[in-house]
Amino acid sequence: MSVDEKSIEERQFELDAELRRREMVLKEIDSSRTGLTTAQASVAGAVLALLSGIAGAAVTAWSTQTVEADKSVNALQIKKTEVEGNLALEASKQTAAEKLERKKFETSLILEAIKTPSRADAIRNLKFFVAAGFVADDEGRIKGLSDESLPSIGPPSVFGSTSSSDRDPLHLHPELRNKIAVLLQNLKAEGLQFEIGDGFRSPTVQLAFFAEGRLDDGPRITNAKPWSGMHNFGLAADLVQIKDGKPYWGPDVSGYKRMHALAKELGLKLQEAPFADMPHVELDNVSISDLRAGKYPAGGDISWAKHLAWTIQNWTKVVSAIQAWGPDLPNAPTPPSASN
């Protein structure tokens, strides 16, 4: 029986069953705030392999941590008989919510894959996920990945990123990162190209922005001091429309309006007009005072948490160093003048 011949009820049942399994794995992933352990990852891999109906060889190849995996595989083997042909469902039309679940999976697996000290192993893990169908790689980016091009999660410089636009999605909270990934995909499907123009913003850059119009005569561009905007916590991003390969800011704002509508569907919060704020999207139901008190949105993964923790630590170091060095810092030198 082909997928098309299945009744709506049958497909609904399969979908529900698959979503329940996905939730199960997600719960397992969530239970470890710093990411998956190898054993958890192998279980996740085994579950996903079963879902895709490619168990056998793939699971064996996945990991040497077979003891934990085997236990779960046995339990899941029973469940497996309940659901057949889930692979076809992947090809069927997915709702935004399903895509998001899928993206969460992929992100967790990708981050787990690159957490090994060996870059060669990391690439092999990534390619395995792609080959096994766990991670979508429509544009063949992972397939063509070489050792040099693999992203690594390293500490930022002590003064923080001095680039005014940090576009690294790994510095964003995974909930925002995943929603943006789905949003960009949905926009692309409608022929609209957007990209992250600005994501995480270091306190150093925020300070520089705050100084504009206060230490000079130019216009003020923000009222937010360091640590008082969502960008500073990796919980906001500015999505810029790309037209003819270049950032597009108007006058036609229909693309941005469509981006807003699709962002709302995913539960993202917007800054409505004026136009200058149109690219901005952020996580909803988060307060800065909670953030400053260390109450962060649930589900933070290792790349977001580590990067933010490093940044906070560095900021503390820099501020206290400048205070401590204060009396010892030299007076400003006399500036030069040009000879003509």
Q: Catalog residues that contact Zn ion under the rule CB under 5 A.
A: 238, 280
| Three-class secondary structure of residue 75 per DSSP | helix
> Closer CB to Zn ion, residue 45 or residue 234?
234
- What is the nearest approach in angstroms of Zn ion to the Cβ of residue 268? 12
Beta bridge partners of 280: 238
Return d(Cα 199, Cα 197) in angstroms, integer. 7
Nearer to Zn ion, 75 or 221 (CB): 221
> What is the rounded end-to-end Cα distance, in angstroms, of the chain?
86
Cβ proximity to Zn ion: between 168 and 238 the closer is 238
Shortest gap between Cβ of 33 and Zn ion (angstroms)? 27
Give the bridge partners for 242, in sequence order.
247
CB nearer to Zn ion: give 104 or 280: 280
Of the two residues 108 and 206, which places its CB atom closer to Zn ion in the complex? 206
Q: Which segments of the chain are extended strands (E)?
A: 194-198, 236-243, 246-248, 269-270, 280-282
Q: How far is the CB of 240 from Zn ion (least distance, A)?
A: 11
Q: How far is the CB of 237 from Zn ion (least distance, A)?
A: 7
3-state secondary structure (DSSP) of residue 281? strand
Q: How far is the CB of 231 from Zn ion (least distance, A)?
A: 6
- Least distance in Å: CB of 169 to Zn ion? 15
Other residues' Cβ atoms within 10 Å of the Cβ of residue 300: 17
In angstroms, what is the minimal distance from the CB of 236 to Zn ion? Answer: 5
Cβ closer to Zn ion: 42 or 206?
A: 206
* Nearest residue (CB) to Zn ion, 85 versus 197: 197
- Nearest distance, CB of residue 272 and Zn ion, angstroms: 13
Q: Which residue is nearest to Zn ion (CB)?
A: 280
Only one residue has tokens 């790309």, namely 242
Locate 32 and state its tokens.
């470890």
With respect to Zn ion, which residue has the nearer C-beta, 22 or 231? 231
SS3 of residue 330 by DSSP: coil
Burial classification of residue 175, based on how many CB atoms lie within 10 Å of its CB (0-12 exposed, 13-18 middle, 19 or more buried):
buried
Of 109, 97, 111, 114, the residue nearest 134 (C-alpha):
109
Query: What's the CA gap between 329 and 340, in Å, rounded?
Result: 32
CB neighbours (10 Å) of residue 218? 10
The minimum distance between CB 156 and Zn ion, in angstroms, equals: 19
Neighbouring C-alpha atoms within 13 Å toward the C-beta of 61: 13
Cis peptide before 327 (omega within 30 of 0): no
Q: Give the residue with the Cβ less far from Zn ion, 98 or 282.
A: 282
Q: Is the separation of the CB atoms in 303 and 111 below 8 Å?
A: yes
